Amino acid sequence: MQSDQPPARPVGRGAKVRAAVHAATLAELVDKGYAALSVENVAQRAGVHKTTVYRRWKDRESLLADALAEHMAMDIPVPDTGAIATDLRALARSLVQTFTSPTGQAVLAAIFTGAAHLPEIAAARRHVFDDRLARAEPVVTRAVERGELPRGTDPAELLKTLAAPIYLRLLITADPVDETTADQAVRVTLAAAHAGVLRPAHDGEPATG
């Protein structure tokens, strides 16, 4: 048998099983919550044998972490409207939508309450955030190139400033989270960016260009 390297992204049976199991994991989470999540139920819902699941994931925790990472990575648009205000509004509103949808609420409950004590989940939380941040960075670099934002504006600082008030309300305060929350986050972020305070942390780089 030839053992050529397989293509980087196979879309064969393996990928289909992964996708079906991921979808079933999220559906189980939405319907029954983290406490009731089991490999058996996920396998049944995905229409595969549970040994098929165990061949790829060692336990429900790693399955959940993997399904969450995949879901959250796919769930982010990278807008390119030609203007930073509308790009940031789209990003902030999509973050709000992600976490206020039924799936998003179930995900949030799992990663911040039910499964919050699992190291895999803490790692997935950071991974998901970093991944979304990396995907959204072009929004900021394009705006700097267009001259809409000061040179030296740090994409990560800016995007964290945008996300922070939304997460604060989702995780700590009892405030409603809606489009108003998203739009207010955009106003605060743009004010800070225009004032030139969203530079890289610990950075004293001159604003050359």
* Residues binding a copy of itself (CB under 8 A): 112-114, 116-117, 122, 125-126, 129-130, 157, 160-161, 163-165, 167-169, 171-175, 180-181, 184, 187-188, 191-192, 194-195, 197-198, 201-202
Structure tokens at 76: 């982010």
The least CB distance from residue 38 to a copy of itself, in Å, is 17
**Residue whose CB is less far from a copy of itself, 59 or 178:** 178
The least CB distance from residue 129 to a copy of itself, in Å, is 5
**Residue whose CB is less far from a copy of itself, 45 or 199:** 199
Contact 78, 121 (CB under 8 A): no
CA angle at 140 for the pair 139 and 145, rounded to the nearest 5°: 105
The least CB distance from residue 98 to a copy of itself, in Å, is 14
**Residue whose CB is less far from a copy of itself, 43 or 182:** 182
The least CB distance from residue 33 to a copy of itself, in Å, is 10
150-154 own/partner pairs: CB under 8 Å, 24+ apart:
150/193, 150/194, 150/196, 150/207, 151/207, 151/208, 151/209, 152/196, 152/199, 152/200, 152/203, 152/205, 152/207, 153/193, 153/196, 153/198, 153/199, 154/198, 154/199, 154/200, 154/201, 154/203
**Residue whose CB is less far from a copy of itself, 81 or 184:** 184
